[in-house]
Structure 1
């Protein structure tokens, strides 16, 4: 729980008209400071904008600057409700959720690419041809050939995003588990993925990348013509997200598991 330390706030907003209107309203009431001088960053938008904000301010967030999102988008799973009044009090009473992103190193036709993902790292077929992907975990081959539209590795935070749409499992926060989920698997037809330790190192090798090209995505950052990709949790990076008391991210994930 907070200790009445969130007084200097840095507000940022997506380009949506409602988010821009909300931005003007909160700045008029609470002022606005540069993120480097703030006690917390307050993004106004949806989950996509939250991910953009984490990327944009990653050096500050890595050093412990917390992020408290307010929903001015569509889904808003990573956001709190938008209420102008009593913001300082809400922040002081908020709960903290610490998360670790994924660290990705990809070998592509254009060279090596490194990136960070907060939700998931995904591989997708780049043409009409199904992707052929070999999957290894901690240096040991686990699946010699997955024939599918693609495959993804998801964090607990991302387990309720694209992973859930692909029929992957919802993972409770704090479980230190990653979800490995196929996307429209053709062979093995009955393979539904796997739950891996948060310490696991996963490697995807693209088989026949010329005939069956594959692209990779770290959240919303895309890489074309991938040959191989290695992924592991970046345990040296801890991000702090703030949620209203009684409505933390762990509670949202639990609710999602009972959704009908």
Structure 2
């Protein structure tokens, strides 16, 4: 087995913190740029933050769950980590990129691994127009909001608002309404991953909205463009019996 130089990214929650002392006694914690692999210890939220933080190093990420659900993570282990990493299967995932314009013409860009959500900012429901390129998907949606989900994120917030579960190899994105009021029966739309999705706030003064890319929020939005950034990919490592593909297929089987 080839020795791996590991950088440990450890969350500050209680479970992760208690793991830190034992691990760092057993393993050297290399600097990110000197490492072969990033071992992320925490929950799904911490994994998403860590992926973005260390994206520039182009390293594979092996997550170990010390959070709540840990859908993006492997089971925690304190010994033989190098052995598990050497046996792990690699899954490459693309990210969503958003370009948002505020009502004050401030431009913001952010990426998301799971989903990008547009949400009502106050007590009034959002009024949105959604397009795919030049084609209007829905002329006017009155709802609490809408989200655009990747396959990797389709079992997260998207599933909670009754969106479709997408296979990792589907090359699709899900556009899913959040508590739609009009049209009440609109269930959303599955579109190709090559789509350029445009979402416009039809009443930005009376019905302000915010946009959230995983954990980055921009408020008072005028319009947003969302697409897959094919130049940016993350390599996630999974134990053979605990792959992200298997987890997604399990969620799909539970819905039938």
1:69 paired with 2:63, answer yes
Match of 2:84 among 76, 87, 90: 90
Which residue of structure 1 lines up, in the alignment, with residue 10 of structure 2? Answer: 13
**Aligned match for 1:204, one of 183, 189, 199:** 199
Q: Which residue number corresponds to residue 147 of structure 2?
A: 152
What CA distance in whole angstroms lies between the structure 2 residues aligned with 1:108 and 1:40?
Answer: 38
Paired position in structure 2 for 1:30: 27
Q: Secondary structure at the match of 1:216?
A: strand
Secondary structure of the structure 1 residue equivalent to 2:254 = coil
Q: 1:153 to 1:80 in 2, by over 3 A?
A: same
Q: Is the 8 A contact 1:6 1:91 kept in 2?
A: no
Gaps of 5+ in 1: none
1-side partners of 2:243 and 2:30: how far apart? 26
Mapped to 2, the partners of 1:206 and 1:29 lie a distance apart of 53
- The C-alpha deviation readout for 1:11-42, integer Å capped at 9, x for no partner, is 01111021011122111112210111111101
CA RMSD, Structure 1 to Structure 2 (Å):
1.1
Number of aligned residue pairs: 254
Structure 1 residues 6, 205: closer, same or farther in 2, change over 3 A?
farther
TM-score by length of 1: 0.95
What secondary structure, in the 3-state scheme, does the structure 2 residue paired with 1:36 have?
Answer: helix
Q: Secondary structure at the match of 1:254?
A: helix
Structure 1 residues 31 and 138 mapped into 2: Cα distance closer, same or farther (>3 Å)?
same
Aligned to 1:232: 227
Is the 8 Å Cα contact of residues 103 and 204 (structure 2) preserved in structure 1?
no
The runs of at least 4 consecutive aligned structure 1 residues that moved more than 6 Å come to none
Structure 2, gaps ≥5 residues long? none
Q: Does 1:139 align with 2:113?
A: no
